Amino acid sequence: MKVKLSHVLGLLAILSMLAGLAAPEALAQRPVPPDAQTKLADPNNLFPNGIGEIDCKGVNLVVGTQVGPQIASPVQNFWQLWGEKTGGTVELQEFPFGDLFEKIRTGFISGASPFDIIIYASDWAGDIMGPGYVLEVPQKVQDQVGYDYLIPTYRDRILSWGGKVYGLPYDGDAHMMYYRRDLLTDPKWQAEFKAKYGYDLPAPPNTWKQYYDVAEFFNGKEIDGQVIWGAGTAFKRKAQSYWTYLGVAAAFAKAPDDPAYFFDPDTMEPRINNPGFVEGLKLYVSLAKVGPPDVINWDVGDIRGNFPAGKLVLAIDWGDVGPLAADVNSSVVVGKWGSALEPGTEKYWDSRRGEWVDATKVTGNLNQAPFLAFGGWVQSVTKTTKNPECAFDFAAFMGNQNMSQLLVTYPGSGVNPHFFSDLNNLEPWLKIGMTEQEASEYLNAVRDIINHPNAVVDLRITGAAEYFDALDTQLARAVAGEVDPQTALDEVAKQWNAITDRLGREQQKKQYREMLGLPTE
């Protein structure tokens, strides 16, 4: 069963526009193939276009990435197939996410990287692709993986630097909301909610206030013999939690007529401590009160374990929760859940005008700003590898269009849709246990995030990891109650300015403006 052609054609038009907003000029005009909306992947053929037709006997490839199962497990689970065909072997080295960047960078700086292939956060491109630590991807390899059939927002934004392709696809990321449809549409809870809050129980919540109210209402209730918690939120430091905060803050701090979010694009002055970001942090901190008692120690893995287990009513995560919630072998919420864009706000802070704006009066709608958090995991072949041909072949095996279709529907893989074919066919999603409603809603949520005119692209400039580490530290302090939100974000702004000055304000401004598709001269 296929998604309606009109939906896909609309997706193509808007994605082409978005590609121009986030890609280097040399790649922004790369055309979308005419059959992108109809070509289906074949997960039964993991060696398309000549992949695997290479002799790698005696070659051992070392792959470095984060601790699994997310992202690491596909390599662990499938490398043997490649080895049987080519004669090569693969050694997977896994590191906690909080240590991964330094593990990768230290090897490059010393000139003795232990890795042949790295699978890493696309935001780190300025520190990995920019200095030339990884090899440019040959055109032959791009063709093997189906490069032109990648969604342009991911293809042109995360795989290249300075107009050259250094990354192979692996994952495409954006934050979304998950909710228990069965509970939010239950007449009993609807009546009790309206009696307490004075408005109808939303399914799903449309604003962050509604999100908090719904979480507060359900938090701690015993349903079918199990205590259920209102919201699962990632708060743990050095565990990707800052992306959750940035997604919450986006609706408060991203104006629909301003492409910039993190910095003023004319001065590189941080916006992170303006009233919009502060309001977003207040909401983020408050979510600790409507979750399980130990939620401040949660990372995304806890959400992925607890939502399918039926212990959460609401959650924010990447696309990983969908396949996990649909897994008939482990999920207790099969047929009971839904997904949507993250909520919006009635008012947002306009950084250029320095004032709050009532979106409902200006546009008649809420302000939503879906966050393309993280952007996606990418693969690169290191410049120090002694076996570049085998390394590129294995990376093409792991990143090709057919493998993507298999992995995006593989519970726990950590791989989310990034090819057109991941979105234009419902059948693979129905086969893993999603109902037609769940699959359509899930894929439409991904599509709507990418299509959204106020979508926020993640930070992708030199030093991104440093900027985010400074934010991560202060968020943890705010969540723990050590400092108030304004004080925490003032410190972040101070540190961001110091990082910018050390790396070179003009260089950083140029990269930031290029990232946003703004003129650099």
Q: What is the pLDDT of residues 190-202, one digit of tens each?
A: 999 999 999 999 9
The predicted-structure confidence for 278-300, as pLDDT tens digits, reads as follows: 999 999 999 999 999 999 999 99
137 and 219 fall within a common domain: no
In angstroms, the CA 262 to CA 324 distance is 32
Q: Given pLDDT bands bounded at 50, 70 and 90, which one contains residue 521? A: confident
* The pLDDT of residue 453: 92
H/E/C letters for each residue in 280-308?
A: HHHHHHHHHHHCCCCHHHCCHHHHHHHCC
Mean pLDDT, to the nearest integer, of 468-480?
98
Tokens of 218: 């359900």
Asked which of 63-72, 399-408, 449-458 is least confident by mean pLDDT, the reply is 449-458
More confident residue, 470 or 21: 470
The predicted-structure confidence for 26-64, as pLDDT tens digits, reads as follows: 444 578 899 988 899 999 999 999 999 999 999 999 999
Element (H or E) spanning 89, and its range? Answer: strand 89-95
User: Is residue 479, in this structure, part of any structural domain at all?
Assistant: no
C-beta separation of 245 from 281 below 8 A: yes
Residue 138 CB contacts under 8 Å (≥ 6 apart), including other chains: 392
Output the pTM of the full model.
0.91
User: Is residue 429, in this structure, part of any structural domain at all?
Assistant: yes
User: Is residue 465, in this structure, part of any structural domain at all?
Assistant: no
260 and 182 fall within a common domain: yes
* The pLDDT of residue 37: 84
| Radius of gyration of the chain measured on its C-alpha atoms | 22
| Residue 346: domain span | 176-369
User: Is residue 474, in this structure, part of any structural domain at all?
Assistant: no
C-beta separation of 131 from 173 below 8 A: no
User: Is residue 498, in this structure, part of any structural domain at all?
Assistant: no
User: Is residue 494, in this structure, part of any structural domain at all?
Assistant: no
Mean pLDDT, to the nearest integer, of 8-21?
38
User: Is residue 449, in this structure, part of any structural domain at all?
Assistant: no
Residue 458 has pLDDT above 70, yes or no: yes
* The pLDDT of residue 29: 55
Asked which of 182-186, 324-328, 348-352, 514-518 is least confident by mean pLDDT, the reply is 514-518
59 and 121 fall within a common domain: yes
159 and 245 fall within a common domain: no
242 and 192 fall within a common domain: yes
Mean pLDDT, to the nearest integer, of 414-427?
94
Mean pLDDT, to the nearest integer, of 466-474?
98
Tokens of 303: 């959400």
Start-to-end Cα distance in the chain: 49
Residue 175 has pLDDT above 50, yes or no: yes
Q: Which of 382, 408, 436 is the last residue of a domain?
A: 436
In angstroms, the CA 232 to CA 499 distance is 32
User: Is residue 68, in this structure, part of any structural domain at all?
Assistant: yes
Which CATH number is 317's domain given? 3.40.190.10
C-beta separation of 85 from 56 below 8 A: no
170 and 180 fall within a common domain: no
378 and 306 fall within a common domain: no
Mean pLDDT, to the nearest integer, of 168-182?
95
Work out the angle at residue 380's Cα, subtended by the Cα atoms of residues 404 and 240, and round it to the nearest 5 degrees: 75
Q: Which of 369, 394, 426 is the last residue of a domain?
A: 369
In angstroms, the CA 208 to CA 197 distance is 15
The predicted-structure confidence for 351-382, as pLDDT tens digits, reads as follows: 999 999 999 998 899 999 999 988 899 999 99
Residue 11 has pLDDT above 90, yes or no: no
Tokens of 379: 């693969």
96 and 127 fall within a common domain: yes
**Helix extents (H) in 111-186:** 125-128, 139-145, 152-158, 181-184
In whole angstroms, how far apart are CA 145 and each of 360, 472, 496? 44, 35, 37
214 and 259 fall within a common domain: yes
Tokens of 454: 């106020």
Domains identified in the chain, total number: 2
Residue 12 has pLDDT above 60, yes or no: no
In whole angstroms, how far apart are CA 351 and each of 261, 282, 364? 9, 18, 20
Mean pLDDT, to the nearest integer, of 157-177?
93
Q: Which of 369, 389, 418 is the last residue of a domain?
A: 369
In angstroms, the CA 56 to CA 149 distance is 28
222 and 181 fall within a common domain: yes
Give strand ranges (E) for 98-239: 117-121, 160-161, 164-165, 168-169, 176-180, 221-223, 226-232
135 and 259 fall within a common domain: no
356 and 422 fall within a common domain: no
Q: What is the mean pLDDT of the chain?
A: 93
- Percentage of the chain with pLDDT > 90? 87
* The pLDDT of residue 363: 86
Tokens of 88: 């090569």
Mean pLDDT, to the nearest integer, of 497-509?
98
Residue 255 CB contacts under 8 Å (≥ 6 apart), including other chains: 348, 349, 350, 351, 352, 357
